[in-house]
Amino acid sequence: MPGRPSEPESALIPLPTEVDVPLYHIRHGVKPPIFRVFISWSRGNVLQVACIRPLEDHLARGEANETSDDAGLGGKVVEVKLGASDPNISEAQRRRIIYDSIPPFVLLQSRRKAFLTMSRLSSSSSHPSTDWWQQVLEYSRSISELLGSSKISSKSVIEDPMIVLEPVDKPSGLKAAWQLMEIFYVDKNYFSWLPERLVDWLAEYDAILSETQMTVHSKLVKLQEKLVNLQVIENDPEYWEGLSSVLTVGWLDVAVKLLRLHGSYQLNQLDSRETENGLVETVAVLVSTMPRLRHDLPMGKLGQCFKTKPDFIKAWEKWRGQITKLDCSAFWVQCSHRPTREGLRNLLQIMLGNFNSISTACFHWMELFISHFLYIRPLTVVAPTYLVSCPKQGLGLLEILLSKQPVQNYPMILKNLEICQLNELYGISSCVKKIAGMHQWKHGRKGSGVYWLQEARDEARLNRIAQQLFECIGRSISDETFKQWEGLIELLGSDVGTAGGVGFLHRYRDFKRSLRQVRNGRPASAARQTVESLIQLMKSSYTPQRFWLPLLHDVVELLNWKDQPLLNVSETNFLLKKLQELSMAQLCPEFSETYLPPEALTEIRLALATNLSRAFLEE
Amino acid sequence: MERELATLDKGAQCCSWNYCGQRFAVGYDDGSVAVHDSDSSFSRSSKFKVHADGIMNIVWIPPEFGDAIACICIDGTLSLWEEVGEDAHSVSWKQCKVFESSTSRVLDVQFGLPTRYLKMVAAYSDGLVKVYELLDLLELNKWQLQAEFQNVVDSVSIFGKPTCITASVAWSPRRGESQQSRFALGFNSDLSQFNSCKIWEFEEAHQRWVPAAELAFPADTDDRVHALAWAPNIGRPFEVIAVASCKGIAIWHVWLNSGTDGRLSTEKVVLLSGHDNETWQLEWDVSGMTLASTGGDGLVRLWQSNLNGVWQEQASLDCSGGQQ
């Protein structure tokens, strides 16, 4: 059945078992029937939904004969925003928060850099004076201030004896969440007294834990309304329920105040209800002297503070002993008022850590969580567990989010990479660069593509690009084609290309450059350099055979160099031998023809022969 | 709550979004594909003819290989197309590869997360699974058949050829070079042994694919699988896989550290019902915590597990168009 929980009996936290599933109607404007619905999660809590109509031949006659605007409509795609943002924060406030949060963040980043530099410098000698977490805490508090003011006032809540709950504005959910992050992740001051920090947090934010379900706060609001009109407060079960609830979550001052509203305190009742009043007051004293592992308490708040764990444990055991003693005392028999007797003993059970009493008195899982800390396991191991596991999950989520960011424009890529850099997500950073590289390469921006693939150190793809260039240039060796690719060869660098293809392209580029210098009237040294490049290229096993003839044809004019022969006898013989090899290869069926003029071979032969004869004479 | 993004032409059959949700491709009954881009407020940027028959399904290829899609046509032809251009003004879609088979139809195809090679799993109408590897990192035209097997646990017995109506493939979304290749696969066929969802793992030592787990109780192995989705994992010690069959949507936990027999430990945590037992699509959100499903009742249902690990439906979106 939709909406029905799968295994309610194994629940750790009491949650409602039957839930009404809200149903939202999507107004997409496509007339029913709908043939198919396709979905995809988009950024944030956005779901994209495509609603597609059936084909005409699948529709009933009446539905198919439409003349309206729908006639040509195949479906629509809508995006659906799920979940609501904090209604207490207006759009203008939200924008202000976003922009005002930048300066503290920039400050934090600059401090981080300085801190890292300082750590490196002082790593062997002394530790930096300030801990990094304190800087983060300062940043966290700046952001917290931006999210709204704090509700906790310096004075005790209650002046009027009948008011147990101070009317305040609804706190911000955003700030509540931020403060929880601060408690768990940042503020190391609180590590030793985390439960107390959570009690303070709950006192401030319990009101927003749930809009629809009961919380200790909403229970207290209800009780407050009743208090004014109640004559015999202790006869009302809600009084005792409210008392147990506030005690469970550690609001001791409210609990004591409520206890002292008990009818036995009235002057005209004191004589006849002396034992009853004594019991109420003893419980009130026990509540107000509860040991608390914290440095201090805000004014008006109750409990005894202990700064160290041994002192706290000692006081805790003593306090628990007093409660047990009271629980076993004979005075309960003399207390004739049943609701008081049962109500007070339930309060004692809460303070003794009775799970059933605690569980009945709170409503939200967060309340139960905090009451566990207070009464069941006051020295506990939850925080380290959170600290160890959450960063991993947080980073995991960040990795997924980053890998789903579009990389079509440069600023967006830089932004993503900066986030990767900050969080040391090198795998994702490489993935982003690869996606950007391939997108650019495939869309004609070859240089940019190679740049990003180099940034990603994607050797495999760069090798393939080098191979493609090599093949491309090999097909046509005109100067024009080469010019087209020259920039890319430069960009690829000389390290790429394990197969030697790029190595060849680089030597070929050098050869072409020096040849250009010769043609531009540069001195003989350039001519000598060109023929040296030629010899190297012809000797290299990576130079494809189809390049030999064009290479030799390029240097015909150098073979006829006016001043002196540029090649010696052995070099000329080597080239003649290569020419011979080429003639033999021409007989093979797989030989690829070059697109040179028919007289090219004769020209080369003649030039080599001339050079050889001149070289003989020289030597 | 909702905002209209695009209007689709008559004859639209399927819709699929790219990795970042900024583009989507729509397949039409005349064999054409339209691509819509968010930078032009989701208006159509291209439309091109893929095949003579209608398009049944479109799957985007991982973006490390460019902007490319795989199109499955009603006749079972699979073709790969990519967007290329010399500059921003001359962008077009070109066909890179066609996989044709005279004996069976391709029903579903999915691409693994790119590690050293891009792997593609194609599920065919005769119950066969074919795993291909891309040989060229720059071009999508050179594929090598790496393996071919049937979606059955028992590799010794000989089974007849089933007739499969649909197939669902989902790769493990775990990133990282060291991650083993894994995918889940289920069929909707007339032969029970082929139907149940199995997790296939690539054994490097023997260079073969082996079934590492079966996500079905013995009594449910013949349940026809309609859809499945493997959840992203951000710190859970186990994987979560949703499998929709005629009985509902089952959520499975799978522990990847296999036991001594090489099989993975699995646990079925819940069977969620809805969609009148006809689920069309399952889709996990990026955190792997919310599952969206669509189905024959025209609803999109959103499922989450609460703090007790109890799965509940959180909300339903009625897309039937009945309350415009």
Does B88 sit within 8 Å of A443, measured CB to CB? Answer: yes
Q: Which residue has the higher pLDDT, A232 or A159?
A: A232
Q: What is the Rg, in whole angstroms, of the alpha carbon atoms belonging to chain A?
A: 42
Residues 6+ apart with CB under 8 A from A567: A531, A535, A559, A575, A611, A615
pLDDT > 80? residue A542: no
> Is B195 in the same domain as B298?
yes
Same domain? For B176 and B265 the reply is yes
- Most B CBs within 10 Å, among A43, A52, A413, to test the B interface: A52
Do B284 and B189 belong together in one domain? yes
For residue A79, list chain B residues with Cβ-Cβ distance below 8 A. 2-3, 5
Query: What per-residue confidence (pLDDT) applies to A131?
Result: 76
Are B167 and B141 contained in the same domain? yes
Query: For the sheet containing B143-150, what is the strand order?
Result: B106-111, B119-124, B128-134, B143-150
Q: Give the chain B residue whose CA is nearest to the CA of A425.
A: B176
Residues B187 and B93 in one domain: no
Same domain, B185 and B217: yes
Q: Chain A residue with minimal CA distance to B235?
A: A393
Spatial neighbors of A174 by CB under 8 A, at least 6 apart, are A86, A89, A97, A147, A148
- Per CB-CB distance under 8 Å, the chain A contacts of B284 are 41
Of B100, B129, B157, the last residue of a domain is B100
Phi, then psi, of B56 in degrees rounded to 5: -95, -35
Read off the amino acid at residue A419: I
Most A CBs within 10 Å, among B317, B320, B324, to test the A interface: B317
pLDDT digits (tens, 9 = 90+) for A32-64: 889 999 999 987 788 999 999 998 766 655 555
Q: What is the mean pLDDT of residues A520-535?
A: 83
A268 Cβ contact partners less than 8 Å away, ≥ 6 residues apart: none
Mean pLDDT of all residues belonging to chain A = 80
Same domain? For B249 and B192 the reply is yes
Q: What is the pLDDT of residue A18?
A: 63
Q: Please state the length of chain B.
A: 324
Can you tell me whether residue A569 is helix, strand or coil?
helix
B146: domain CATH number is 2.130.10.10
Kindly determine whether residue B235 and residue A23, on different chains, have CB atoms separated by under 8 Å: no
Assembly ipTM: 0.89
Contact call for A77 and B3, based on CB within 8 A:
no
Whether residues B170 and B228 share a domain: the answer is yes
Minimal-distance CA residue of chain A relative to B274: A2
Residue A421 has pLDDT above 90, yes or no: no
CB contact under 8 A, A406 and B22: yes
* Cβ of residue B42 closer than 8 Å to a chain A Cβ: yes
* pLDDT at res. A85: 63
- Structural domains in chain B (count): 2
Together in a domain, B165 and B21: no
CB A287 within 8 A of CB A256: yes
Q: Which residue among B100, B120, B152 closes a domain? A: B100
DSSP string, B80-96: EEEEE-SSTTS-EEEEE
B89 and B118 belong to one structural domain = no
Q: Tell me which chain B residues have a C-beta less than 8 angstroms from the C-beta of A441.
A: 66, 138
pLDDT tens, position by position, B239-284: 999 999 989 999 999 998 766 677 899 999 999 988 887 899 999 9
Bond from prior residue into A565 cis (ω within 30 degrees of 0): no
Report yes or no: B275 and B294 within 8 Å, Cβ to Cβ.
yes
Mutate to test the interface with B, among A1, A24, A59 (most CBs of B within 10 A): A24
Q: Which residues of A touch B17 (CB under 8 A)?
A: 40, 42, 48
Cross-chain residue pair B64–A438, CB shorter than 8 Å: yes
Q: Determine the pLDDT at residue B114.
A: 74
Per-residue pLDDT reduced to its tens digit, A105-162: 888 888 888 888 887 776 554 455 467 788 888 999 999 888 887 655 444 444 666 7
Q: Could you give the count of Cα atoms lying within 13 Å of B50 in the half-sphere of its Cβ?
A: 38
- Give the end of a domain, one of B100, B118, B147: B100
φ, ψ of residue A555 to 5 degrees: the values are: -105, 15
**Looking at chain B from residue 163 to 182, which residues have their Cβ under 8 Å from any Cβ of chain A?**
175-176
Cβ <8 Å between B11 and A74: yes
A-contacting residues in B 88-117 (Cβ below 8 Å): 88, 90-91, 116
d(CA A10, CA A18): 15
Nearest Cα to A48, choosing from A59, A57, A40, A56?
A: A40
Beta bridge partners of B122: B109, B130
Mean pLDDT, chain B, as a whole number?
90
Q: Which residue of B has its CA nearest to A443?
A: B85
Size of interface A-B (CB pairs under 8 A): 273
Task: Specify whether B234 is located in the same domain as B137.
Answer: yes
For the ranges A128-132, A250-254, A541-545, B164-168, the lowest mean pLDDT is seen at A128-132
- Report the candidate in B272, B275, B266, B284 with the shortest Cα–Cα distance to residue B171: B284
Q: Is the domain of B146 the same as that of B158?
A: yes
Closest residue, chain A, to B28 (C-alpha): A74
Torsion of Cα atoms, A366 then A367 then A368 then A371, to 10°: 120
- Split at pLDDT 50, 70, 90, the class of A212 is confident
Residue B40, domain extent: 1-100
Distance from CA of B116 to the nearest CA of A (A): 9
Which residues from chain B sit within 8 angstroms of residue A396, using beta carbons?
Answer: 233-235
